[in-house]
Structure 1
């Protein structure tokens, strides 16, 4: 009986201490513990603790920190979908905070990390492009530190490549009007991309097939003045020569 009573007392003390510890674990405690895990690169555990800190946060400042570090934990753990959601939540609430530029950068980088080949959906490409343009506009010096302009150029080329890929598909299936729309979009919006010369030449060829010879001549003359590609120049000159004969 004596041993039984001692065991009951011991269990009571253990549970009492556990309950006390649970009560004492406020938002600041959860955040501090999460930060320790974060610094040790244990991002999954850190995310759990930052989530708890966010739930219990009793000040806007602590809530903002918990939200940002929660997003960062997902980001460094390569859980990009979760990171995107967390960064968006942060920016919706704290877009005027000094750390907003960091959140915007990593939001863009999260999309950038998930880019797909041009024969697949380019939603991530468009989102990353839009975010990096915003970052470059709002925080030009900060964006320069991370070579964001290079990423913008890369993304722009990918979007142009996608439109050219789709235009070629439309040509293969005989939908030349749809192809012209895609090619014209490249000419109007992506003139400073690597894809532009090929797209402009293809646009001219489709115009010729649709008997729009004068428009084709205009496009080719413009392309002749703009491109220095030794592979394209002979083609452009030959097509122009043939068109001039047809037009008299």
Structure 2
């Protein structure tokens, strides 16, 4: 019985000491252990350690590194919502840090990975677009390295398509004035997108239906000047002939 009691006390002391050592780990040690798991691509484990290191960090440099690697762990683990929050926190605190461009890039890529179909909310599309615009403005050469211009064009097309999708819905339910607002936005802001010709043609049709033929002609004229696409000619020609008959 006495031997058993001694053994239990010894086990308790070992566990207590181990627990105390764990509690006493400083931020640098936690960060180093996190980096070990990160390099082994065990991102869930590394995220836990980087978060602990961040809580205990007593200098700005280590705190910044912990925050960034925490965000990177989430990003590489494809936990994009968590990555977005972590990168935003890093950029709010360390906007002028040398790693800010990497954080801004991956923030944009995290939004980009969460893009939704056109019939759903496009918040991630707008956030990705605005983030990439900021990246290109602040770090043009870095943005060029990652072909950000191509992504920006893609996002502009998606935003224009969303407006067109909503405009067509309004036309379908008879809310023509509401559809004009969406179509006008495409005409003014997204003239360089793929959907612009189709949107301009629909815009002109709605204007005609609202008894604004002269405005419709102006839109069609501008469309023909802007886009030299033979496929537009038939639709534009038919609408212009209809307008001519309407106004006598």
Query: TM-score range with shorter-chain normalisation?
Result: over 0.9
Cα distance in 1, alignment partners of residues 9 and 215 from structure 2: 94
In structure 1, distance between residues paired with 2:72 and 2:164: 36
Correspondence 1:190-209 to 2 at 5 A:
190-209=190-209
Aligned counterparts of 2:184 and 2:5: Cα–Cα separation in 1: 87
Shift of residue 224 of structure 1? 1.3
- What is aligned with 1:84? 84
Residue 237 (str. 1) matches residue 232 (str. 2)? no
Aligned to 1:18: 18
1:174 partner SS: coil
Runs of 4 or more above 3 Å deviation: 244-248
- The Cα offsets for residues 147-197 of structure 1, whole Å up to 9 and x where unpaired, read as 111110000000000000000000000000000010000000001100111
Q: Which residue of 1 aligns with 2:186?
A: 186
Structure 1 unaligned regions, length at least 5: none
Gaps of 5+ in 2: none
Cα distance, 1:231 vs. partner?
2.1
- The corresponding residue for 1:54 is 54
Deviation for aligned residue 1:19: 3.9
- Please give the residue correspondences for 1:122-133 in structure 2 after superposition, counting only pairs within 5 Å: 122-133=122-133
C-alpha spacing 1:23/1:166, structure 2 compared with 1 (3 Å): closer
TM-score, normalisation: structure 1: 0.95
* C-alpha separation in 1, matches of 2:188 and 2:209: 21
User: What SS is found at the alignment partner of 1:185?
Assistant: helix
Q: Any idea what the Cα deviations from partners look like across 1:13-67, whole Å, max 9, x if unmatched?
A: 4135314522441101100000010011100000000011001101110000000
Q: Which residue of 2 aligns with 1:213?
A: 213
Q: SS in structure 1 opposite 2:230?
A: coil
Structure 2 residue matching 1:169: 3-state secondary structure: helix
Shift of 1:234: 1.5
Equivalent position of 2:121 in the other structure: 121
**1:97, 1:218 → 2: CA distance?**
50
Q: What is the alpha-carbon distance in structure 2 between the residues aligned to residue 176 and residue 245 of structure 1?
A: 22
CA 1:165–1:19 in 2, change beyond 3 Å: closer, same or farther? closer
Report the equivalent of 2:101: 101
CA distance in 2, matches of 1:78, 1:20: 34
CA distance in 2, matches of 1:29, 1:78: 26
